[in-house]
Chain A
Amino acid sequence: MMGNTAENREFKQAVKRLSSMVFQKTIIHQSLFSALVMFCLIQPLFANDRGANEQGRQLSQISEITLENGLKIIVKPDHRAPVVISQVWYKVGSSYESGGTTGVSHVLEHMMFKGTEKYPAGEFNKIISRNGGEDNAFTSKDYTAYYQKLEKSRLKVSFELEADRMRGLVLPKEEFAKEVMVVMEERRWRTEDKPQSLTYEQFHATAFDNSGYHNPTIGWMDDLKNMTVDDLNTWYQRYYAPNNATVVVVGDVEPDAVFKLAKQYFGPLKPFDITALKPRLEREQKGGKRIEMKLEAKLPYMVMGYKVPVINTATEKWEPYALDLLAGILDGGDSARFSKNLIRGSKIATSAGAGYSMNDRIQTLFLLDGIPVTGMTTAQLETALLNELEDIKNNRVTDAELNRVKAQVISSAVYEQDSMFYQGMKIGIAETVGIGWEKERLYVEQIQAVTAEQIQQVAKKYFVPQTLTVATLKPIKKQAGEIMDKEQQLEQVN
């Protein structure tokens, strides 16, 4: 929001389609239905007349190398403008953290701008700014990433600075003392003062017991208050090494030149022994969970989710794609079921969403959320959402619906290539969570193969009461020391 405008446009666009992340200086919202918008290279399926460019287009290829120190470099040329985006992805995020030091990945991300021996605090931003660059960083449950967007001839500026801070961070105590205050302000702004965010955070902490997805990416306030430089240093030493990182470059560049530059700057860095991450497999949920948040707010809200597999964990490889398509059937735009049935049709919902992120690292949730219209309750909305799921279980989706969603997937795959940032992001996430960019590219193909029967099957298999978690936000109003909820107020009025 504040202090950055143009630099975050593209960024936000990408982010809106991806999962929850916390940024050094940007606002993001978790987007349901991250589903159908995935970068992918496709052959034109509509093989008829073209527009101005009748020769057809050679869509660019992806190249990669791995340096001797284990650092992987992935390059995707995009020659449309004299611009390059460089992203460094680390395999670490809040799902790697333990109780007591939650939020450490994100605080470390902030501290990555606070100086190395070569470039003291403030120099990083100054150098990028002087070079006409935009830069930022973001942390999610599964990754931490840093990026610069620059005129193409200045890629080396990015590589030099990123290589320098990959092993050379200083972590000054006095800088940490101020920056952790900034992060606490960020938490207040992002979560504490937003009733829906607070509900959403508590929802995840309830749905997951022992999985790394229990913790919020920003960290619990008490953990932030008690965080130390030592916590950060431990984290930095454990995860910031070339063999735990991926560099993704998209733009008006040639792969060989990028590889050469990468060898020059990142080549001399020493690899480290990376501590294997413990699985922390979420224990089996043996029954539905339900919480109610009573908060000073004006609007009720509800969010619910079922435990579902992701690409990384699915034993039936097609299941994540069927779930993804299902999310599109429910909430893929104005023609999808929630819009048609719940907002326009029965008019029970002011808003209703469905979301699923097949690119999460470990078992995730298939999410449904919404705000009831005035005069309806969250319980009524919940019933309406569950009825929509029942309908999917009992009746196969129509061919027309299925084809609509597939058409959107195909066109989205083209539209997404308009954003260099997003192209990089897709590669970076796939690499960092362990899916690999090659597999990512098969997305459209896999989606095309999903059948109506498979959608019905995943709905029956996973939308079961035992693995459901529901959270509702009940608005209350504080008056002269007492707490009343809205229904009580209504009763008094009536």
Chain B
Amino acid sequence: MITSMTRIMTGIKKITALSLLTIAVMSLLSISISSASEVSAKESVQQRVKVGKITQWFTSNGMKVLYQQADSLPMIDFRLIFDAGGARDGNFKSDNGTVLAGLAKLTNGLIFEGTSDLSADQIAEQFASLGVEYGNGSYRDMAIVNLRTLSYQQQRDSALELLTKILATASFPEEALQRESARMLVALDYADQTPSKKASRLFYESLYKSHPYGTPPAGNRQSLKVIQQKDLVAYYKQFYVAKNVVLAIVGDLTEAQAQDYAEKISTALPVGEKAAQLPSASQNTEAIVIRENHPSTQTTVLMGQPVLKRGDEDLYALYVGNHILGGSGFSARLMKEVRVKRGLTYSIGSYLVPMHAQGPYQFSFTTKKSSTEEALKLVEENLQQFIEQGPTKEELDEAKLNITGSFPLRQASNKDIVENLAVIGFYELPLDYLDKYNAHIEAVTLEQIKSAYKRRVHPEKMVTIIVGPDVETLSGKAQADEGTVDKGTVDKGKVLEESKG
């Protein structure tokens, strides 16, 4: 039942793993860092690099491949990660100038909807007969296509042949486009009746404004009505190409077999070009508070700003710091202060999401209407105190024990491993990233955390989104200043206010 909604929200294609993927990707992103310089595809053609259990190479036409053998179970995972997320939507406009928000998601979502000689029904039936699980996902940075098959030759050969054909000759039928844009419009309604989704949309819009991350990947009511088949085809031709994708392969097959499949997939794709680098995202120059009335019993609060880019030198310090402040569940300060000590919330936490450009540092919680001001004040005070004083020695030691001690847990399944490879490959992390991970964590000092928070985290310039009942009656930071209310925006009765300092 609620599956139904999950499906709509996570995209067009219905695979239960999709929303998981988001979570998985997010959680991986939050621990990722890069220091590797970009490897030129040309130089590395056919050159195999093996570090630990991971092998990396480029196919003859420049597709990057990461492979790890895991032969305990008779199955194989393939994951393709295209640099073709919603952040690229801004490059496409309709004839009258509307930015085609949602184009990346629609393109990705229609991949399995037909090829030059196969219908959606035929594709679905062939995969099902093989016992294959397949899916897709579209985010701001990435567009993903994945497939899990049994490793018996008959299954894996047939599954890969079909996947290769689909990737190379997807036809984006007009009928499917009409149906799926209509479903995405319904998904917008769903987001509008769901406080956390409403808040998240407002959050990204306010954080990133005209930056590519400000374009909603799920589209909007204007864009979804004007996106045409030719737009999907153009997007596909530009971004679903060998040089713009990383293929991760994990499972019960040899390296030679993996090479063979990778070569077949990549030669079926055009060589193409790697997508351009995204521009940097800057922080706002002043605080922004947005209130949105919602017919709910709770208030949902989201607060934050753009902070981390992959490869950032402060990443480990900020990651460990955030673990202590709000990232580690019941061990985190925010959870202790707001939930454990006072019973004001069920869920509260903070997250760092390093992306191609500066991803958000985000604080969020929900609470009943009457405790909104108190909870928000607690979050702000704890953040301020943390910036000024940093964590204690004991907190740092405990955090290190937890992070390093849980390291084996994050590579315990083929699914974990393929996700790790995907992130390492996509964000060009060093291949020994995992091997050195614990050493990086151990090296973080109190001073580094304090210094990183002071330099990088600026509550006075954060965006705060407050979605809930009667938000105009709130006091404190949650209070709307008179005279700065603009009720004229869009169709949601949004109350927008920008406060100084």
Same assembly? yes
Known: A52-B252, A52-B254, A415-B133. A182 touches B155 (CB 8 A): no
Which residues on A sit within 8 Å (CB–CB) of B349? Answer: 1-4
Known: A335-B128, A371-B186. A414 touches B408 (CB 8 A): no
Asked whether A334 lies within 8 Å of B13 as measured between CB atoms, the reply is yes
Category for how many chain B residues contact A: 35 or more
**What is the minimal beta-carbon distance from B90 to any residue of chain A, in angstroms?**
27
With both beta carbons as reference points, the residue of chain A lying nearest to B336 in the complex is identified as A122
Asked whether A335 lies within 8 Å of B124 as measured between CB atoms, the reply is yes
Which residues on A sit within 8 Å (CB–CB) of B58? Answer: none
A200 at the interface (CB under 8 A from B): yes
Distance of A170 Cα from B149 Cα, bound (Å)? 49
Asked whether A81 lies within 8 Å of B412 as measured between CB atoms, the reply is yes
Stretch at the interface among B35-43, B212-220, B340-348: B340-348
**What is the minimal beta-carbon distance from A170 to any residue of chain B, in angstroms?**
16
Distance of A177 Cα from B341 Cα, bound (Å)? 11
Distance of A44 Cα from B155 Cα, bound (Å)? 13
Distance of A83 Cα from B194 Cα, bound (Å)? 37
Distance of A405 Cα from B296 Cα, bound (Å)? 41
A363 at the interface (CB under 8 A from B): no
Contact bitstring A471-494, B, C-beta under 8 A = 1, else 0: 000010010000000000000000
A194 at the interface (CB under 8 A from B): yes
Distance of A195 Cα from B402 Cα, bound (Å)? 38
Asked whether B150 lies within 8 Å of A25 as measured between CB atoms, the reply is no
Asked whether B69 lies within 8 Å of A5 as measured between CB atoms, the reply is no
Which residues on A sit within 8 Å (CB–CB) of B368? Answer: 184-185, 188
A164 at the interface (CB under 8 A from B): no
Number of A residues with CB within 8 Å of any CB on chain B: 112
Which residues on A sit within 8 Å (CB–CB) of B51? Answer: none
Asked whether A81 lies within 8 Å of B74 as measured between CB atoms, the reply is no
Known: A9-B23, A29-B2. A130 touches B401 (CB 8 A): yes
Q: Chain A: interface secondary structure? A: mixed
Distance of A351 Cα from B180 Cα, bound (Å)? 11
Asked whether A335 lies within 8 Å of B343 as measured between CB atoms, the reply is no
Which residues on B sit within 8 Å (CB–CB) of A113? Answer: 330
Beyond the given pairs A122-B330, A414-B150, 20 more chain A to chain B contacts, judged by CB atoms under 8 angstroms and listed by A's residue number, are A3-B332, A51-B252, A52-B257, A53-B72, A83-B412, A129-B328, A132-B402, A134-B409, A183-B346, A186-B346, A189-B347, A193-B195, A193-B296, A195-B193, A297-B193, A298-B192, A350-B8, A370-B4, A373-B183, A410-B131
Asked whether B1 lies within 8 Å of A200 as measured between CB atoms, the reply is yes
Distance of A53 Cα from B411 Cα, bound (Å)? 20
B75 at the interface (CB under 8 A from A): yes
B331 at the interface (CB under 8 A from A): yes
Which residues on A sit within 8 Å (CB–CB) of B345? Answer: 182, 185
Known: A126-B331, A350-B8, A414-B73. A151 touches B125 (CB 8 A): no
B156, B196, B257, B403, most chain A CB atoms within 10 A = B196
With both beta carbons as reference points, the residue of chain B lying nearest to A183 in the complex is identified as B346
Q: Footprint of B on A, CB under 8 Å?
A: 1-10, 12-13, 16-17, 25, 27, 29-33, 44, 46, 48-53, 57, 79-83, 113, 122, 125-126, 129-134, 149-151, 177-186, 188-190, 192-197, 200, 296-299, 301, 303, 332-336, 339-340, 343-344, 347, 350-353, 355, 367, 369-371, 373-374, 400, 403-405, 407-408, 410-412, 414-415, 417-420, 475, 478
Distance of A180 Cα from B411 Cα, bound (Å)? 36
With both beta carbons as reference points, the residue of chain B lying nearest to A131 in the complex is identified as B405
**What is the minimal beta-carbon distance from B343 to any residue of chain A, in angstroms?**
3
Asked whether B1 lies within 8 Å of A196 as measured between CB atoms, the reply is yes
**What is the minimal beta-carbon distance from A281 to any residue of chain B, in angstroms?**
25
In the assembled complex, 12 residue pairs joining A and B whose CB atoms fall closer than 8 Å, in A order, are A51-B76, A79-B72, A113-B330, A129-B398, A130-B401, A184-B368, A188-B366, A193-B297, A334-B120, A403-B129, A410-B131, A418-B75
Known: A129-B328, A334-B14. A353 touches B150 (CB 8 A): no
Which residues on B sit within 8 Å (CB–CB) of A374? Answer: 182, 185-186
Which residues on A sit within 8 Å (CB–CB) of B76? Answer: 51
B383-420, CB < 8 A from A = 398, 401-416
With both beta carbons as reference points, the residue of chain B lying nearest to A176 in the complex is identified as B343
Known: A194-B194, A418-B415. A411 touches B150 (CB 8 A): yes
Shortest 3 CB-CB distances between A and B: which pairs? A132-B405, A411-B131, A3-B349
Distance of A180 Cα from B343 Cα, bound (Å)? 8
Asked whether B326 lies within 8 Å of A351 as measured between CB atoms, the reply is no
* Contact among A185, A192, A333, A407 with B344 in the assembled complex (CB-CB below 8 Å): A185
* Contact among A33, A149, A405 with B3 in the assembled complex (CB-CB below 8 Å): A33
Asked whether A417 lies within 8 Å of B73 as measured between CB atoms, the reply is yes
Asked whether B329 lies within 8 Å of A7 as measured between CB atoms, the reply is yes
Asked whether B150 lies within 8 Å of A16 as measured between CB atoms, the reply is no
Contact bitstring B24-51, A, C-beta under 8 A = 1, else 0: 1011101000000000000000000000
Asked whether A418 lies within 8 Å of B2 as measured between CB atoms, the reply is no
Contact bitstring B321-358, A, C-beta under 8 A = 1, else 0: 00000111111101100011111111111010000000
**What is the minimal beta-carbon distance from B383 to any residue of chain A, in angstroms?**
15
With both beta carbons as reference points, the residue of chain A lying nearest to B191 in the complex is identified as A298
Distance of A188 Cα from B412 Cα, bound (Å)? 35
Distance of A158 Cα from B73 Cα, bound (Å)? 28
Asked whether A185 lies within 8 Å of B298 as measured between CB atoms, the reply is yes
Distance of A256 Cα from B124 Cα, bound (Å)? 46
Which residues on A sit within 8 Å (CB–CB) of B279? Answer: none
Contact bitstring B146-183, A, C-beta under 8 A = 1, else 0: 00111111111000000000000000000010010011
Which residues on A sit within 8 Å (CB–CB) of B5? Answer: 29, 196, 351, 371
**What is the minimal beta-carbon distance from A183 to any residue of chain B, in angstroms?**
8
Asked whether B70 lies within 8 Å of A80 as measured between CB atoms, the reply is yes
Distance of A79 Cα from B70 Cα, bound (Å)? 12
With both beta carbons as reference points, the residue of chain B lying nearest to A29 in the complex is identified as B2
Distance of A303 Cα from B4 Cα, bound (Å)? 11
Known: A4-B329, A417-B73. A298 touches B131 (CB 8 A): no
Asked whether B196 lies within 8 Å of A31 as measured between CB atoms, the reply is no
Which residues on A sit within 8 Å (CB–CB) of B340? Answer: 122, 178
Which residues on A sit within 8 Å (CB–CB) of B284? Answer: none
Distance of A149 Cα from B403 Cα, bound (Å)? 13
* Contact among B4, B121, B148, B192 with A352 in the assembled complex (CB-CB below 8 Å): B4
* Contact among A7, A177, A340 with B343 in the assembled complex (CB-CB below 8 Å): A177
**What is the minimal beta-carbon distance from B82 to any residue of chain A, in angstroms?**
21
B20 at the interface (CB under 8 A from A): yes
Known: A52-B253, A334-B124. A182 touches B151 (CB 8 A): no
Asked whether A351 lies within 8 Å of B8 as measured between CB atoms, the reply is yes
* Contact among B75, B196, B295, B408 with A415 in the assembled complex (CB-CB below 8 Å): B75
Asked whether B412 lies within 8 Å of A369 as measured between CB atoms, the reply is no
* Contact among A3, A184, A369 with B329 in the assembled complex (CB-CB below 8 Å): A3
B16 at the interface (CB under 8 A from A): yes
Distance of A340 Cα from B153 Cα, bound (Å)? 29
**What is the minimal beta-carbon distance from A424 to any residue of chain B, in angstroms?**
13
**What is the minimal beta-carbon distance from A448 to any residue of chain B, in angstroms?**
13
Asked whether A51 lies within 8 Å of B193 as measured between CB atoms, the reply is no
Distance of A9 Cα from B131 Cα, bound (Å)? 23
**What is the minimal beta-carbon distance from B113 to any residue of chain A, in angstroms?**
9
**What is the minimal beta-carbon distance from A62 to any residue of chain B, in angstroms?**
17
Asked whether B409 lies within 8 Å of A48 as measured between CB atoms, the reply is no
B4, B195, B347, most chain A CB atoms within 10 A = B4
Asked whether B398 lies within 8 Å of A149 as measured between CB atoms, the reply is no
Known: A51-B252, A419-B413. A5 touches B131 (CB 8 A): no
Which residues on A sit within 8 Å (CB–CB) of B195? Answer: 193
B112 at the interface (CB under 8 A from A): yes
Which residues on B sit within 8 Å (CB–CB) of A29? Answer: 2-3, 5-6
* Contact among B71, B402, B404 with A53 in the assembled complex (CB-CB below 8 Å): B71
Distance of A420 Cα from B403 Cα, bound (Å)? 20
Which residues on B sit within 8 Å (CB–CB) of A190? Answer: 346
Which residues on A sit within 8 Å (CB–CB) of B335? Answer: 3
* Contact among A151, A179, A333, A415 with B128 in the assembled complex (CB-CB below 8 Å): A333
